[in-house]
Amino acid sequence: MTRPSPKGWCPGAYQPMMSGDGLVVRVRPIMSRLTRDQILGLCATACQFGSGIIDLTSRSNLQIRGVSEANHEAVLVQLEDLALLPDDPALESRRNILVPPMWQDGDETYQIVTELLRRLGDLPELPAKMGYAVDINGAPQLSECSADFRFELASDGGLVLRADGASRGRLVTANTAVDAVLEMADWFVTTGGAQNRRMARHTSLTALPAEWQSALPAAPAANLTPGQSPIGAVFGVAFGQIEATELAHLVTATDATALRVTPWRLFLFEDAEMTDTSTFITASADPLLTIDACPGAPLCTSSSVKTREVARALAGKIKGPLHISGCSKGCARPRPCTTTLVGHNGAFDLVQNGTPWDQPTHSGLAPDTLIESLGEL
């Protein structure tokens, strides 16, 4: 089956997206990092002008939920005062840059990202969801995260720029990296990539220049997990959603100096020690950290089911990866999963080893008897 059309763009600060609970206002932190004052200010803004809920996205962004249209301008003023809107609206929407969390000031990750930010205006017009991964802090950590242009360590040393979907890339240096990504972006546009929307689809249909396929990236590294890290404490967030008051409380309780956001539903609290908490996830084996579940009803108008209530009920009771999708678009996990439950007219369809838009093996499973129903199938 064909995937139903998802939104062709992501929300931003200047261009929020309307959802079932109001506007979703996305903040893209530079280098995926916020100072202590910035995160506390963001939490206060979410409580004053939104629903008090903050999302942590798979692109290491933060979203204020439940903002009314009347309050949107006030949110922008607050974000500007917090130095969380460092560029004009056109460039803000292009700033989709992922970095692994352990970068250091002045290292090659910082150098490449800083130069890329400086030259965002030199890029051609690209589809709104396209993004970049500067994944050179050790073996690649962002291989499963959404990005179209990937900087990675080469298997035999050096740096490689790889077009998403290609197994190999071209060797670059920190000094030539941004010139190379501009060249690749121009190639994408001139070869008709815009109609394919994402790099992986385009490379599956269009041959890359041979010289861009000369270097093999290093093998991927294991993902970060909750616990103490060399630069601070790492806490998980179920489904990537947290109450702003709880986040502000943990920042204050741990005396964290800054916060780094990740694409894995993890916050890294700089210069902090692990502490007991019933709100955040502290164990790497916690099943809530690996279940994919979109906001569902009533937060999303496309959903007829409460996805996260079901996810919590099934956590630890279903073997293997689990995806709870409010509808067949599969926004939380647009790729195959061992077990996928898809909301449909208030009930669930079951898809095994497939995507939410694939043909289900069973339909009409009631939310309140899912555990029993799945056990019988």
From residue 139, give the alpha-carbon distance in Å to each of 136, 143, 225, 268, 352: 7, 10, 16, 19, 32
Residue 2 lies in a domain: no
Report how far residue 296's alpha carbon sits from residue 56's, in angstroms, rounded to the nearest whole number. Answer: 16
Give the CATH number for residue 258.
3.90.480.10
Q: How far apart are CA 97 and CA 141, in angstroms?
A: 14
- Beta-carbon contacts of residue 195 (< 8 Å; ≥ 6 apart): none
**Given this model, what pLDDT does residue 171 score?**
97
Q: What is the CATH number of the domain that holds 179?
A: 3.40.50
Give the domain CATH number at 358. 3.30.413.10
What 3-state class would DSSP assign to 150?
Answer: strand
Q: Return the sign of the alpha-carbon dihedral for residues 198, 201, 203, 207.
A: negative
3-state secondary structure of 376: helix
- Report in angstroms the alpha-carbon separations of 367 from 33, 45, 349, 351, 373: 38, 35, 10, 15, 10
Q: What pLDDT does 299 receive?
A: 86
Helix or strand or coil: residue 161? strand
Q: Where are the beta strands (DSSP E) in the chain?
A: 17-19, 22-27, 33-35, 53-56, 62-67, 97-98, 132-135, 149-153, 159-163, 170-172, 227-229, 232-236, 241-243, 258-261, 266-270, 292-293, 322-325, 337-344, 347-354, 362-365
> Domain of 179?
102-213
Let me know whether 209 and 115 are in one domain. Answer: yes
- Contact yes or no for 351/361 (Cβ under 8 A): yes
pLDDT of residue 319: 83
- What backbone phi and psi angles, to 5 degrees, belong to 205? -115, -15
User: How much is the pLDDT for 316?
Assistant: 87
The label of the residue with tokens 């969801």 reads 129
**What would the DSSP string read from start to end of 43-76?**
HHHHHHHS-SEEEE-TTS-EEEEEE-GGGHHHHH
Residue at 97 is within a domain: no
Same domain, 338 and 242: no
Q: DSSP labels for 221-270?
A: PPPP-SEEETTEEEEE-GGGEEEHHHHHHHHHHHT-SEEEE-TTSEEEEE
Q: What angle do CA 252, 258, 262 make, to 5 degrees?
A: 110
Does 162 fall in a domain?
yes
Beta-bridged to residue 322, according to DSSP, are: 339
CA 252 to each of CA 130, 248, 270: distance values in angstroms, whole numbers, following the listed order: 35, 6, 12
pTM above 0.75, yes or no: yes
5 within some domain: no
* Domains identified in the chain, total number: 3
Residues constituting the chain: 377
CA-closest candidate to residue 191, choices 176, 204, 174, 175: 204
Rounded CA separation 291/202 (Å) = 29
Does residue 22 fall inside a structural domain? yes
53 neighbors 86 (Cβ within 8 angstroms): no
* CA–CA gap between residue 162 and residue 168 (Å, rounded): 6
In a domain, 47, yes or no: yes
**76 alpha-carbon distance from chain centroid:** 22
| pLDDT tens for the chain, residues 1 to 377 | 555 655 555 788 999 999 888 999 999 999 999 999 999 999 999 999 999 999 999 999 999 999 999 999 999 999 999 999 987 888 888 999 999 999 999 999 999 999 999 999 999 999 989 999 999 999 999 999 999 999 999 998 899 999 999 999 999 999 999 999 999 999 999 999 999 999 999 999 999 999 999 999 999 998 899 999 999 999 999 999 999 999 999 999 999 999 999 999 999 999 999 999 999 999 999 989 889 899 898 888 889 999 999 999 998 888 888 999 999 998 888 889 999 999 999 999 999 999 999 999 999 999 888 888 787 66
- In a domain, residue 264? The reply is yes
Per the DSSP assignment, residues forming a β-bridge with 158 are none
pLDDT given for residue 368 in this prediction = 85
Residues 372 and 308 grouped into a single domain: yes
For residue 2, the model assigns a pLDDT of 56
Residue 155 lies in a domain: yes
- Contact assessment for residue 98 and residue 133, using Cβ atoms and an 8 Å cutoff: yes
Say if residue 73 is in the same domain as residue 107.
no
**179 and 243, same domain (yes or no):** no
